C-alpha cells in the first residue's frame, strides 16, 4: 500500500453527502475468504472442564488419577461425610463398573445411618456457583447391592453448611440405573457444595454424580455455560478449530485425542489425562463441539493427530522428553479409517454406520463438515511425513472436496516451517496451519508477510497467533496485523487468535483472549479487536481506498484495510494507529456505488498499557457512535487506536 503524506484533518462529523446508488463489482476489489476470522478452542487453562462445559461437579466419575495431576486420586474434590453418629465406610471400586470405559465408582457401605446418613460432598471447580430460584439438574447412577433400598438425600449447601436446596431419591435394590432430580436453591452462593447422603442401611454404588444449570447455552442438555458461550458467540466467528493444539497430538501415543472416545452417552466416554496437567472428562466431546458450532453459525474445523504424538511427549522441555511417538505403520490404515469415520459421522446419511450414530445422538441432519485439520505443529520427521501422507491421501481420495489443513511447525519460519510447506506443495494440500506467538513489534514489522506469498501454493490457516500480552498496545499490534490478513484474504483463508479461554487460578498459558472465574467473564482488549474484526468481516478486499502518512514499509504503526460485504453491500474500513500521536487516514470511497452516508464508527482506544482485569474489567471497551461518511474524507485516529467505520451499502 502506498503512503503519501496528507496533513489536513477534517472534523469527524463534518461531511454527510449521500452517495449515488447502484450494485456493481467494485473497481480494485478481489474476493477474499468468507471464513477469514474464527476461533481456536483448546481445553487449556480449564477451558472445557471447569470452564465452558457447564458441569458443576468436579471428578464426577471418580476417574482422576495422579497421572492427571500430581496428588490427585479418584476422590479428589470429594469429601467423605458421616454426619451425626452415622457409621460405615466409603471406598473406590472397579470390579463391576457402569461401563468398561468408566472403570471407577464409589461404594458406600452404611452400617448405621442414624438420623443423618453418610456419603460424599463435592466442592466443584473452586466451589459450585448457584443462583437463587434457578433450576439445577442433578443426576447420578446408582446400584443397590445390599439392603431393600437405600434412600439418598441430595443437598446443595452454602460455604457455612446451610442447606440451599434438597431432595430425596428412593433407590431400590437394583442394578445400575440413572436417577434424576431438580434442585432450586433458595439463595445465591458462589461456592456451594453438593452433598449426597445415604440415609438407609445397605451397600450402594455411585457413579457419574452430576449437576448442571438448566439454563445452558441454547438450553442444550449436557450443555455449555451460557455466559462464556455467549461471549464466544459475540465474536461472530466463521469457524471453530478444536480440540487443540497440543491436546490433539497429546503426550505420547496413549494420550492422542481420539474423537470416537468423546461421542455417545457421557457415562460411556473415555476420560483421560489432559496434556495441560489436568483431566478431560470428554463430557464436552465432538457432538457438543459440532453442536456449538451450529448454534453460533460457525463452521467446524476438527483437527486430528497425524499419527504421531507431540514431539515434547514424555516430559517437559526442561527435563527432556521421549519425543515424538509414531503409531506403527501396520496400524495406520485403521487410524486413517477413524478419520474417514469422522467425516461420515459429521456428514454421512443416517443410513451410514456413523451417520446413524450422529442421528442417534439427536442430529439426523448433516453437520456440513468442510474442513479437517491433520496434525499440529508436528516435528517434520520421516515418521510424521509418512503418516501425514497416508491420512491425507485416504481423506482426499474419499472426500476430494474436503478442505484439508496441514501443519508447518510451531513458528513463523525454521526447519519445520520449510519442510511442512514443501510437503504441502508436494501433496497439494489445500491449506496449511501456521502458528506464531511474537512481540507486538514483530506484528508491526511483519505486516507485509503474506503480500509476498505465492498465490499458487496452499492457502494459509493462521491457526494460532498472539502478541504475548493483553495491553491495549498488544491488541492494537494484532489489529494492525489483521488488516494485512484481510488484504491477503485471497491467500490467508482462516485465522484464529490463541488461546481462547483461561480460568483464573488455573492458567497454563498467558496471554489469553477471555479470562473467567465461576461467576465472571472478562474479555481482554485483544478480545474486542477480534470481535470488531469478526463482526465486520467482508467478502472482498478493496485496495487503495485508504492512504496513510506513515507505515507500510518496515514498521507499520499505521495500518488500514477496506472490505466490502457482498451480502449487505456495506463497506467497512479498519484504521489502526499503533503510534503515540494522532494520525490522519485519507479515505476515498468514490468508487463505491449505492453507499449511504449514514455510517457507524466504533473505536477502541486508551492508554498504551491499559488492560481489562478482574478488578477493572471495563478499562478499554469499544465505543460506537453514528458517523457521516463523505466520498472523500480524512479521519484522524487517536493514538493507540482501532477504528472501524461501517458504511451502509446496498447488495
Enzyme catalytic residues: 377
* Total residues at interface with ligand AHR (CB under 6 A): 13
Strand-by-strand arrangement of the 239-242 sheet: 39-40, 239-242, 299-304, 371-374, 403-407, 431-437, 459-466, 492-495
Rule CB under 6 A: is residue 566 a binding residue for ligand AHR? no
Residue 466 beta carbon to ligand AHR: minimum distance, rounded to whole angstroms: 8
Residue 256 beta carbon to ligand AHR: minimum distance, rounded to whole angstroms: 14
Torsion sign over Cα 487, 490, 492, 494: positive
Site string for ligand AHR, 416-455 (x = CB under 6 A): -------------------x--------------------
Rule CB under 6 A: is residue 407 a binding residue for ligand AHR? no
- Residues 481 and 160: their CA atoms lie apart, in Å, by 51
Which of residues 237, 245, 300, 430 is near ligand AHR by CB under 6 A?
245
Which residues are bridge partners to 192 per DSSP? Answer: 128
Residue 118 beta carbon to ligand AHR: minimum distance, rounded to whole angstroms: 43
- Residues 268 and 156: their CA atoms lie apart, in Å, by 27
Contacts of 74 (CB under 8 A, 6+ apart): 59, 62, 63, 64, 65, 92, 104, 106
- Residues 127 and 322: their CA atoms lie apart, in Å, by 37
Q: Which stretch binds ligand AHR (CB under 6 A): 25-33, 243-251, 332-340, 589-597?
A: 243-251
Which of residues 200, 243, 302, 410 is near ligand AHR by CB under 6 A?
410
Report whether the peptide linkage leading into residue 243 is cis, meaning its omega lies within 30 degrees of zero. yes
Which residues are bridge partners to 436 per DSSP? Answer: 465
Integer Rg of the chain from CA: 27
Rule CB under 6 A: is residue 584 a binding residue for ligand AHR? no
Q: Which three cell numbers stand for residue 283?
A: 463430557
Q: Is residue 620 classed as helix, strand or coil in its secondary structure?
A: coil
Which of residues 35, 55, 288, 377 is near ligand AHR by CB under 6 A?
377
Residue 212 beta carbon to ligand AHR: minimum distance, rounded to whole angstroms: 27
Residue 531 beta carbon to ligand AHR: minimum distance, rounded to whole angstroms: 19
Residue 72 beta carbon to ligand AHR: minimum distance, rounded to whole angstroms: 22
Contacts of 311 (CB under 8 A, 6+ apart): 321, 323, 324, 378, 379
Rule CB under 6 A: is residue 262 a binding residue for ligand AHR? no
Closer by beta carbon to ligand AHR, 267 or else 464: 464
Q: Which stretch binds ligand AHR (CB under 6 A): 171-179, 242-250, 483-491, 613-621?
A: 242-250
Closer by beta carbon to ligand AHR, 205 or else 464: 464
Which residues are bridge partners to 564 per DSSP? Answer: 540, 571
- Residues 355 and 349: their CA atoms lie apart, in Å, by 5
Closer by beta carbon to ligand AHR, 251 or else 464: 464
Which of residues 49, 207, 464, 486 is near ligand AHR by CB under 6 A?
464
Residues 18-47 that bind ligand AHR (CB under 6 A): 42, 44
- Residues 621 and 605: their CA atoms lie apart, in Å, by 8
Which residues are bridge partners to 540 per DSSP? Answer: 31, 564
Rule CB under 6 A: is residue 144 a binding residue for ligand AHR? no
CA geometry: angle 471, 190, 215, nearest 5 deg = 90
Closer by beta carbon to ligand AHR, 216 or else 530: 530
Residue 313 beta carbon to ligand AHR: minimum distance, rounded to whole angstroms: 13
Rule CB under 6 A: is residue 106 a binding residue for ligand AHR? no
What number of other Cβ atoms are within 10 A of residue 371's Cβ? 22
Closer by beta carbon to ligand AHR, 213 or else 463: 463
Q: Is residue 248 classed as helix, strand or coil in its secondary structure?
A: helix
Residue whose beta carbon is closest to ligand AHR:
245
Closer by beta carbon to ligand AHR, 124 or else 243: 243
Closer by beta carbon to ligand AHR, 249 or else 357: 249
Q: Confirm if 35 and 299 have CB atoms less than 8 A apart.
A: yes
Contacts of 167 (CB under 8 A, 6+ apart): 138, 153, 154, 181, 182, 183
Rule CB under 6 A: is residue 126 a binding residue for ligand AHR? no
Rule CB under 6 A: is residue 114 a binding residue for ligand AHR? no
Give one DSSP letter per residue of 409-466, joined into a string.
-SSSSSHHHHHHHHHHHHHT-SEEEEEEE--HHHHHHTTTGGGGS-TTS-EEEEEEEE
Which of residues 58, 139, 313, 376 is near ligand AHR by CB under 6 A?
376
Residue 325 beta carbon to ligand AHR: minimum distance, rounded to whole angstroms: 17
Rule CB under 6 A: is residue 207 a binding residue for ligand AHR? no
DSSP symbol at 25: P
Residues 490-549 that bind ligand AHR (CB under 6 A): 498-499, 509
Q: Which stretch binds ligand AHR (CB under 6 A): 150-158, 238-246, 318-326, 383-391?
A: 238-246
Residue 37 beta carbon to ligand AHR: minimum distance, rounded to whole angstroms: 17
Torsion sign over Cα 138, 280, 126, 39: negative
What number of other Cβ atoms are within 10 A of residue 341's Cβ? 17
Q: Which stretch binds ligand AHR (CB under 6 A): 14-22, 71-79, 190-198, 241-249?
A: 241-249
Q: Is residue 44 classed as helix, strand or coil in its secondary structure?
A: coil
Closer by beta carbon to ligand AHR, 483 or else 496: 496
Closer by beta carbon to ligand AHR, 47 or else 630: 47
Rule CB under 6 A: is residue 411 a binding residue for ligand AHR? no
Closer by beta carbon to ligand AHR, 185 or else 409: 409
Q: Confirm if 13 and 627 have CB atoms less than 8 A apart.
A: yes
Q: Which chain residues interact with ligand AHR by CB under 6 A? A: 42, 44, 244-246, 376-377, 410, 435, 464, 498-499, 509
Amino acid at each position: 500500500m502506498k503512503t503519501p503524506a496528507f496533513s489536513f484533518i477534517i472534523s469527524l462529523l463534518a461531511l454527510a453527502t449521500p452517495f449515488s446508488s447502484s450494485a456493481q463489482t467494485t473497481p480494485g476489489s478481489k474476493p477474499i475468504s468468507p471464513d477469514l476470522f474464527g476461533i481456536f478452542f483448546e481445553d487449556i487453562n480449564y477451558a472445557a472442564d471447569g470452564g465452558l462445559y457447564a458441569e458443576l461437579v468436579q471428578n464426577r466419575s471418580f476417574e482422576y488419577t495422579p497421572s492427571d495431576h500430581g496428588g490427585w486420586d479418584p476422590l479428589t474434590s470429594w469429601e467423605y461425610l458421616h454426619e451425626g453418629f452415622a457409621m460405615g465406610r466409603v471406598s473406590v471400586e472397579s470390579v463391576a463398573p457402569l461401563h468398561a470405559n468408566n472403570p471407577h465408582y464409589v461404594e458406600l457401605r452404611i452400617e448405621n445411618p442414624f438420623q443423618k446418613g453418610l456419603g460424599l460432598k463435592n466442592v466443584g471447580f473452586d466451589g459450585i456457583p448457584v443462583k437463587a430460584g434457578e433450576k439445577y439438574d442433578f443426576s447420578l447412577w446408582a446400584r443397590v447391592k445390599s439392603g431393600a433400598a437405600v434412600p439418598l438425600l441430595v443437598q446443595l449447601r452454602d460455604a457455612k453448611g446451610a442447606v440451599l436446596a434438597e431432595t430425596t431419591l428412593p433407590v431400590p435394590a437394583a442394578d445400575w440405573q440413572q436417577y434424576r432430580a431438580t434442585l432450586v436453591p433458595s439463595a445465591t452462593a458462589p461456592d456451594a457444595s453438593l452433598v449426597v447422603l445415604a440415609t438407609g442401611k445397605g451397600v450402594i454404588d455411585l457413579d457419574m454424580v452430576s449437576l448442571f444449570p438448566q439454563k445452558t447455552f441454547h438450553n442444550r442438555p449436557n450443555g455449555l455455560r451460557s455466559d462464556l458461550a455467549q461471549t464466544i458467540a459475540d465474536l461472530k466467528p466463521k469457524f471453530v478449530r478444536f480440540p487443540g493444539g497440543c491436546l490433539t497430538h497429546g503426550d505420547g501415543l496413549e494420550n492422542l485425542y481420539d474423537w470416537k472416545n468423546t461421542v455417545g452417552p457421557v457415562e460411556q466416554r473415555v476420560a483421560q489425562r489432559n496434556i495441560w496437567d489436568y483431566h478431560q472428562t470428554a463430557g464436552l466431546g465432538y457432538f457438543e463441539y459440532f453442536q456449538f458450532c451450529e448454534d453460533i453459525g460457525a463452521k467446524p474445523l476438527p483437527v486430528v493427530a497425524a499419527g504421531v504424538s507431540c514431539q515434547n511427549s514424555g516430559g517437559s522441555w526442561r527435563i527432556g522428553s521421549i519425543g515424538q511417538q509414531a503409531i506403527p505403520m501396520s496400524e495406520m490404515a485403521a487410524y486413517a479409517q477413524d478419520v474417514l469415520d469422522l467425516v461420515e459421522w459429521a456428514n454421512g446419511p443416517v443410513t451410514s454406520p456413523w451417520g446413524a450414530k450422529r442421528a442417534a445422538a439427536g442430529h439426523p441432519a448433516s453437520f456440513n463438515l468442510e474442513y479437517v485439520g491433520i496434525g499440529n505443529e508436528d516435528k517434520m520427521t520421516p515418521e510424521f511425513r509418512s503418516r501425514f501422507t497416508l491420512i491425507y491421501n485416504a481423506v482426499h481420495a474419499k472426500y476430494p472436496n474436503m478442505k484439508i489443513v496441514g501443519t508447518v511447525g510451531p513458528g513463523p519460519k525454521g526447519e519445520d516451517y520449510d519442510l511442512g510447506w514443501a510437503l504441502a506443495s508436494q501433496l497439494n494440500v489445500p491449506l496449511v496451519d501456521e502458528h506464531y506467538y511474537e512481540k507486538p513489534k514483530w506484528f508491526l514489522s511483519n505486516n507485509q508477510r503474506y503480500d509476498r506469498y505465492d498465490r499458487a501454493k496452499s492457502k494459509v490457516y493462521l491457526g494460532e497467533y498472539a502478541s504475548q500480552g493483553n495491553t491495549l498496545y498488544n491488541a492494537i499490534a494484532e489489529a494492525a496485523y489483521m488488516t494485512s490478513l484481510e488484504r491477503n484474504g485471497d491467500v490467508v483463508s482462516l485465522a484464529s487468535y490463541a488461546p481462547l479461554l483461561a480460568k483464573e487460578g488455573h492458567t497454563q498459558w498467558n496471554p489469553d483472549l477471555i479470562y473467567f472465574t465461576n461467576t465472571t467473564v472478562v474479555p481482554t482488549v485483544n478480545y474486542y479487536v477480534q470481535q470488531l474484526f469478526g463482526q465486520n468481516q467482508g467478502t472482498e478486499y478493496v485496495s487503495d481506498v485508504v492512504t496513510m502518512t506513515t507505515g507500510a514499509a518496515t514498521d507499520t504503526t499505521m495500518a488500514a484495510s477496506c472490505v466490502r460485504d457482498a451480502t449487505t453491500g456495506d463497506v467497512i474500513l479498519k484504521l489502526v494507529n499503533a503510534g503515540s500521536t494522532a494520525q490522519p487516514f485519507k479515505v476515498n470511497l468514490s468508487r463505491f456505488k449505492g453507499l449511504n452516508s449514514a455510517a457507524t464508527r466504533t473505536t477502541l482506544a486508551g492508554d498504551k498499557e491499559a488492560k481489562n482485569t478482574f478488578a477493572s474489567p471495563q478499562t478499554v471497551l469499544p465505543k460506537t457512535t453514528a458517523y457521516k461518511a463523505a466520498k472523500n474524507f480524512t479521519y484522524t485516529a487517536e493514538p493507540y487506536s482501532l477504528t472501524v467505520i461501517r458504511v451502509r451499502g446496498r447488495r
